[in-house]
Amino acid sequence: MSDLHPPASTPAPSASAASPDPVDRSAEHGQLRMVATRFLRHRMAMASLTVLVLTVLFAFLGPLLWPWDHTVHREILPNQPPSWAHPFGTTNAGHDVLGQLMRGTQQTLKVALTVSVLATAFGALWGAVAGYYRGWIDAVMMRIVDVLMVVPLLVAVAAISGNVRGGTTWWAVALIIALFSWTTIARVVRGVVLSLREQEFVEAARAAGASDARIVLHHLLPNAAGPTIVAATLLIATSILLEASMSFLGFGIQAPDISLGLMIDNARTAAFTRPWLFYPPGLFIVMICLTINFIGDGLRDALDPRQTITRR
């Protein structure tokens, strides 16, 4: 035990400890199953997941089955209220609203989910690192966040998207929104990590010789999961609305392509005269936001081992 020889066994970065041990794996398996069990028992989350899956099918498989896409067709009578041929009616220019809705939902989902994944991953890591190290690292990192937060978003978007090739494709829009929205996540996670880092289990990990990366990835981020998920679900709703306002200003997804935000924008004068243009995309936005919020709730509870397995 009095071994003072230099590190003969090089300390392996054991974050990748995919151990071949059967017992260990079964324990891991048990945890996953427990998380799954808890999620399955969360009624609202399960209902929301079903609705969201149906929405995704509608958006991605629907266009393959429905005869009309989101573009103008001569065969379509313009300005028609809902009928059997066009269940959500048609627009002035001769779009099938159902066809638009499918394509719009698809684009919106792609943007929103990309934003939330990118911004959450980056923001959580940024915030955790800043909160863990504190001191001048924290000061510099959080001042960057502050600067990004005070830049008027739409002005920045206007400046950037003019200079980005393919500025109106969905992924470029998603990247631009993500660039400006990870800051909220970073702030939330930093706040949580600031209190977590003072807990004794972090010190215990340090005393065991754990590297900073291991502490951040294995201890701090999992324990910050609750607030992070809440912030991430809010972010999805925000990014849908942001995308809509970008489209309105002419920097987001542009016609002939369509998104839910753009549809609402096109129909904003028609809310009372031709409600079939306005309400379907509106309801879809509300529905997507709500389902994702409930799924987030369920996920947060399922990931927290302190929650008892009771039906709620």
Residues near other proteins (CB under 8 A)? 1-4, 6-7, 9-12, 14, 17, 19-21, 23-24, 27, 30-31, 199-201, 203-212, 214, 218-219, 222-223, 225, 303-306, 308, 310
* Nearest distance in Å: CB 235, other proteins: 22
Residue number with CB closer to other proteins (96 or 138): 138
Cα–Cα distance for residue pair 210/204, rounded to 1 Å: 9
* Nearest distance in Å: CB 260, other proteins: 36
How many Cβ atoms from other residues are within 10 Å of residue 50's Cβ? Answer: 11
Cα–Cα distance for residue pair 239/292, rounded to 1 Å: 13
Residue number with CB closer to other proteins (14 or 92): 14
Residue number with CB closer to other proteins (154 or 225): 225
Alpha helices (runs of H) in the chain, residue ranges in sequence order? 22-40, 43-60, 62-65, 97-133, 135-150, 153-161, 170-196, 200-207, 212-214, 221-223, 225-249, 260-266, 275-303
Please spell the DSSP secondary structure of 217-276, one letter per residue: IIIIHHHTHHHHHHHHHHHHHHHHHHHHHHHHHTSSS-TTS--HHHHHHHTGGGTTT-HH
* Nearest distance in Å: CB 305, other proteins: 4
Alpha-carbon torsion (180, 182, 185, 187), positive or negative: negative
Residue number with CB closer to other proteins (6 or 152): 6
* Nearest distance in Å: CB 79, other proteins: 56
The tokens for 195 are: 């209190």
Residue number with CB closer to other proteins (125 or 160): 125
* Nearest distance in Å: CB 39, other proteins: 16
Residue number with CB closer to other proteins (118 or 205): 205
The tokens for 226 are: 């609750």
Cα–Cα distance for residue pair 70/30, rounded to 1 Å: 46
* Nearest distance in Å: CB 231, other proteins: 18
Residue number with CB closer to other proteins (148 or 225): 225
Task: Give, as one character, the DSSP assignment of residue 80.
Answer: P
* Nearest distance in Å: CB 219, other proteins: 5
Task: Give, as one character, the DSSP assignment of residue 10.
Answer: -
Q: In this structure, are residues 189 and 127 in contact, taking their beta carbons and an 8 Å threshold?
A: yes
